[in-house]
A and B are shown apart, each in its own frame.
Chain A
Amino acid sequence: MIKKLLAFPLILFFFIVSIFFYLLIIERNPSDLPSALIDKKNT
C-alpha cells in the first residue's frame, strides 16, 4: 500500500505533463482563455 502511495506523485506528474504537452501541440490561442485580471485591467 505504502509502495503504491509513493508512486502517486509520479502518476500525477505524468498526467500534468501530458496535459501541458497536448496543449502545446494543438492549435490554440491562449488569449482566448478568459482572464479575470486582464478583463479588470481593461476596464
Chain B
Amino acid sequence: MIATLGNFSIWLSLLFAFTQFVSSLQKNNKKIIKFNTIAAIGLLLFSMLSFLCLIYSYIVSDFSVSNVFQNSHTTKPLIYKISAVWGNHEGSMLLWILVLAIFNFFIFKLYNKINFSFVTNSLKIQAFVTLGFLFFTLLTSNPFEKIFPVPENGLGFNPILQDPALAIHPPLLYIGYVGFSAAFSFSVAILLGKDKKLENNILLFDCMRPFVLAAWTFLTIGIAFGSIWAYYELGWGGWWFWDPVENASFMPWLLGTALVHSLIAVKKKKILQKWVLLLAILSFLLSVIGTFLVRSGILTSVHAFALDPSRGIYILAFIAIIGTYSLTLFFLNSKKFSDKKYVTFLSREGSILINNIIMIIVCASVFLGTVYPLIIESFTGNKISVGEPYYNSIVVPIMIPALIVMGVGPLLSWNDINFTKLLKNSFPNFIFVFINTTFFVWIFGSFNIFGLIGIILFSWILSNIIFTLISNYSLIKSLKALNKNKIPKITNSMLIAHVGVALLILGVTASSVWQKEKIIRMKTGESIKINNYQVVFKELNEIKGENYFALQGKFLVYDKKKLLITELNPENRIYPITNNSTTEAAIHTNLKRDLYIVLGDGNSDKGRVIRIYYNPLVIWIWIGALLIFMGGLISMKNNYNPSKNSI
C-alpha cells in the first residue's frame, strides 16, 4: 500500500514538473504565476512523500518492494535501514529528485516583478532537468518495483556502507551536485534573457549566488564525510585516493570554488559575467557526468555502486541534450556579456581571476586523469590506469600558486594597488610566516621540501586572515561610532572559510609528509615502537555484533614514560547475510596526531599482519572542512533574499 502510494507520488511529481515546464512556456503572466505556484509546491510535496514512503518501506522491512529486498535485512540496525534508502542506485535517484524539487522551490520563492521572466525561464529549465531525472527513475530505476512471491527476508546491505559517516555523506553530496542545477538553470535563463542593460543583468547574477554557495558548501562537507569514511573504513591510513568516484565530486567542487569567487567579482566590479555563465553550466554538467561515470559501469571504482550500461545510455543522452543546448546557447548569446574591462594583476579581482584560471587547470588535469584510460581504450584498445603519482605530481604543484594568491587576496583592494605599498603592508605577515614555519618544522624535527611549502602556505593564509581581522576590527570600531547598520557581515564568512582552508592545508601537509607506517607480522604478547609510542598486541578475541561476527584485537598503547595512553580494538568483521568481510581500523585521535591500527590476515602460529600508522594533525583536515562549511552557511544566509510577497 505504502509502496503503491510512493510510486503514485513519483508519477504525480512528474505531472507537476511537466505542468511547471509547460506553464513556463506561456505568454500570459497571470497563468504562469498560478500554475507555477501549484507546480512548485506540488512537486516538492509529492517528491517528499515518495521519498518518505521509501524510507517507511525500509523501516518496516517491506520485502515486497524489490529495492528493499535487494538492500536490507530485518537484522540491520535502524540507522542503516534508513541510510540504505540512498545507499543504492534507485533510492539515491529518488533523493536526487527530492533535492531538485527543494532547489526548484527556493528558485520559485525568488519571484518578484523585476525578475519575473528570468525566474520563469529558470523554473522552465529546472523543470526540464527534473523531468529528465523523473523519467530516468521511472523508466530504468523505479525504487518501488514489486516482487512476487514476497521473500521472507532481504539480501542485506553492503557492509562497508554501514557506517555513520556514510549515512549522511550522500545526502550532503547530492545537495552539492543538485545545487549546481540551480546555477545551471539561472545561467541558461540569463543567456535566454533579452534585457541588454548591464545593471539589470547584474541583479540576475546576484540571484545565482546563494544557490552556488549552497551547492559548494554542501559539496565541501559531503566530500569531507566521504573522506572521513574512506580514512577509517578502507583501512589504508589515507583519506584521499584519487578514485574516479572521488574525482567525480572533486571536479565540480573545483569549478564551484571558481564560481563562488567569480560571482563576487561580478557583483563588485561588474566583470567576468561570461565566465560565470560558462562555469555555472560546466559545474552542473560535471556533476551529471560524475553521476554517469559512477552509475554507467564505464569505469571501475572501489565504490561505484551501480553498474548498468542501459542506464548509462539514458544518462548520456540526457547529458548530451542539456550540454548541447546550454553550450550552444552560450556560444550564440554570451557575446552580449563581454565587458571589455581589463583586470589589474595586483588587485582583488586580479587574484580572483588568477585563482579561477588555476582551478580550471586543476579541474582539467583531474578530468584528463579520470577519462584518459577511456580515451586510450577507445582509440587503441589498450587498457591503462592513471594512479596517485599522476595526480600528486600535477595537482599539488599547480595548487601552490593558487594558495599563495588566496592568502594575498584579502590584502588587496578592488582597484589597482601599489606593489611597494603591498610589500609594506605584508611585512608583518612575512615575520609571522617565518616564526610559525620555524616553529612547526622544529616540532616535526625533520626537514622536507613539500612539508616546508605546506607549512609556509598555511602560515601565509593564516597570517593574512589575522591581519585582515585586526584591520577589520579597527574599521568596525570606527563604523560603529558612525552607524551600526554599515558593519560588513560578508567578510566574516570569507575569513572563517579561509581559516578552514589554512587548517586543511596544515592537516593535509602534516599527514602526508610526516606520516609514519609500520607493517609487520605480530603474535599476541609482542610489541612494536612507532614514533614515541609502544604498541603491545595484548590479545585476540571473537565477538558478535548486531548483524556480524568479528575478530577483535586488543592493543595497548604506551607513551615514552610507559604510561598507558589508550586501548585500541581493530576488527575484522564477517557479515553472514551478505557474506562480506570488512576491516575496521581502530583510531586514537587527539589534536596532535592519530594512532591508527589495522588488523590483517594471519593465524596464531605465524602471527597476524598488523598495519600501524602515526598520522600527524589529521583532525585539522576535518576541522578545516567544518569551518569552510560554516563560512559557506553564513554566506548563504547573508546572500539569499527571497521576495517578501513572492508574487
Residues of chain A at the chain B interface (Cβ within 8 Å): 2-3, 6-7, 9-10, 13-14, 16-17, 19-25, 28, 30-38, 40-41
Contacts of B312 in A (CB 8 A): 20, 24
Contacts of A31 in B (CB 8 A): 300
B515, chain A: closest CB distance, angstroms: 16
Q: List 11 A-B contacts (CB under 8 A).
A: A9-B282, A9-B330, A10-B324, A17-B323, A23-B378, A28-B377, A30-B299, A33-B373, A33-B377, A34-B383, A37-B241
Contact A22 B378 (CB under 8 A): yes
Question: Is residue B335 contacting chain A, with contact meaning CB distance below 8 A?
Answer: yes
Contact A19 B374 (CB under 8 A): yes
Contacts of A37 in B (CB 8 A): 241-243, 301-302, 387
> 7 tightest CB-CB pairs across the interface, nearest first?
A36-B387, A34-B385, A10-B327, A6-B331, A35-B300, A30-B300, A24-B312
Contacts of A30 in B (CB 8 A): 297-300, 307
Q: How many A-B residue pairs have CB under 8 A?
A: 90
Residues of chain B at the chain A interface (Cβ within 8 Å): 234, 236, 241-243, 278, 281-282, 285, 289, 292, 296-302, 307, 309, 312-313, 316, 319-320, 323-324, 327-328, 330-331, 334-335, 338, 371, 373-375, 377-378, 383-385, 387-388
Q: Provided the pairs A9-B278, A13-B323, A24-B298 are in contact, do residues A36 and B388 lie with their beta carbons within 8 angstroms?
A: yes
Interface of A is mostly: helix
Measured between alpha carbons, how far is A32 from B318 in the docked complex, in Å? 27
Contacts of A3 in B (CB 8 A): 335
Output the residue of A2, A6, A38 with the most chain B CB within 10 A. A6
Contacts of A16 in B (CB 8 A): 289, 371
Contact B331 A19 (CB under 8 A): no
Q: Provided the pairs A20-B374, A30-B307 are in contact, do residues A13 and B324 lie with their beta carbons within 8 angstroms?
A: yes
Measured between alpha carbons, how far is A21 from B323 in the docked complex, in Å? 14
Interface of B is mostly: helix
Measured between alpha carbons, how far is A17 from B327 in the docked complex, in Å? 13
Contacts of B373 in A (CB 8 A): 33
A11, chain B: closest CB distance, angstroms: 9
- List 6 other contacts, CB 8 Å, given A3-B335, A24-B298: A10-B330, A19-B374, A23-B377, A23-B378, A33-B373, A38-B302
**Nearest chain A residue, comparing its CB with the CB of B385:** A34
Measured between alpha carbons, how far is A36 from B374 in the docked complex, in Å? 15
Contact A19 B378 (CB under 8 A): yes
Q: Provided the pairs A9-B330, A17-B320 are in contact, do residues A23 and B383 lie with their beta carbons within 8 angstroms?
A: no
Contact A6 B334 (CB under 8 A): yes
B625, chain A: closest CB distance, angstroms: 22
Partner of B234, one of A7, A9, A24, A41: A41
Contact B316 A20 (CB under 8 A): yes
B535, chain A: closest CB distance, angstroms: 22
Partner of B374, one of A23, A35, A38: A23
Partner of A21, one of B234, B316, B331: B316
**Nearest chain B residue, comparing its CB with the CB of A13:** B323
Partner of A19, one of B236, B241, B323, B375: B375
Contacts of B302 in A (CB 8 A): 35, 37-38, 41
